[in-house]
Amino acid sequence: MDISGSASKFIDRTLNIFRFIPLSLLVLTLSGCASVSVGNIHDRGTPPKKMPSKIYVREFEAPYENFRVDRSDHDLVLFVKAEQHAMALDLVQQLTKYVAPAEILPEGKALPHGNFWLVSGVYDRVNQGSRALRTIVGFGAGGTKMETRVQVVELGGKEQETFLSMITTGGSGMAPGAWAAFTPAMVFYWPGAVANAGGASLGGLSIDRNRTAREITAALSEYCFQEGLITERRTRRPKKIGLLPPLQRPDFIVPKSGT
C-alpha cells in the first residue's frame, strides 16, 4: 500500500474543499445582494423642534401602470395592495427600531393633530424581473427594480408641512447566476453552480422593499441628527446615490419567499 500517495491525495482533496468554501460563500453573498440608495434629499420649511411621540405611515400611492409584474386585472390589484401594506409594515418596523414609535395610518382615517410625523410616498417604478433568469444567468438578467418618492410631514402645526423629501432607487440581480460556476477552468464545478443559484434566488422585490424601508429610515435618522434631535450614536446613515455605503452596524434582512 502506498501510504504516502494516499495521504497526498487526501491532503489535495481537503485543500480543494477549503479553497472552495470562501469562494462559494462570496458568490452566495454577492448573488443575492440587492442595493437601494436614496437621493434628492431635501429639507424644507421649518424643522421640527423635537422628536415625535409617534410616526404615522401611510401606505404609498401605487399607480398600476408603474408596476411591471406577472399579474393583471384582479390579480394585479391584489398584488399591489399586498405590496403597499408590506412596505408600510417594513417602514413601521424600521422607524420604531431606529427613530420613534410608528404605526400604520388606516386608509380613510383623518390625520391626527399633535406631536406626530407622517411618512408617505409614491411608487414610481416596480419591476418584478425574473427569478429564473436571476438564478440561471444573473449579471442583471431578470433583475428587479424599485423606485419611490417619499415625504415626511409634521402634523403639529396649523398646517401640514413637509420638512423632508427624498427619492429611493435600487434593485437586485446584478451578481452571477448558476452558469458562471461552469467556467472554462471549471473552478467551481456543480457546488459552485448550486451556491450561485441559491444566492441569486434570494433577490427579489421583498429584499428591495426591505432595503427601501431601511434607507428611508436612515435618511430620516440622519436628518434628525443634523437638526440636533438625536445623538450621533443613535444615528443611521443612508446609502446615497453615487456614494459608497457608510460604515455602521449592519441591519440584517432575511429574504422572504415569493417575489
Tell me the percentage of the chain whose pLDDT exceeds 70.
65
**Distance in angstroms (rounded) separating the CA atoms of residues 189 and 194:** 9
Model pTM score: 0.73
- 122 exposure class (CB count in 10 Å sphere: 0-12, 13-18, 19+): middle
- What DSSP letter does each residue of 23-89 carry, written as one string? HHHHHHHHHT-EEEEEEEEEE-SSPPSS--SEEEEPPPB--GGGEE-S--HHHHHHHHHHHHHHHHH
The x, y and z cell numbers of residue 76, run together, are 394585479
Identify the residue with better confidence: 6 or 30.
6
Question: Mind listing the domains of the chain with CATH numbers?
Answer: 32-234 (3.40.50)
CA 12 to CA 10: how far, in whole Å?
5
Tracing cell 455602521 back to the chain, one arrives at 248
What mean pLDDT comes out for the span 49-77? 96
Q: What is the mean pLDDT of residues 133-154?
A: 72
pLDDT tens per residue, range 165-208 = 999 999 876 444 444 445 554 444 444 444 333 444 445 889 99
Look up residue 88 and give its three cell numbers.
Answer: 408600510
For residue 246, the model assigns a pLDDT of: 78
Model confidence at 25: pLDDT above 50 = no
| Residue 247, pLDDT above cutoff 90 | no
Query: How much of the chain exceeds pLDDT 90, in percent?
Result: 54
Q: What is the mean pLDDT of residues 218-243?
A: 95
Output the average pLDDT for the chain: 78
Condensed to tens digits (0 to 9), the pLDDT of residues 83-113 reads 999 999 999 999 999 999 999 999 889 999 9
Residue 205, pLDDT score: 87
Residue whose grid cell is 427579489: 204
pLDDT at 27 exceeding the cut of 50: no
- Residue 85 C-alpha cell reads as 401594506
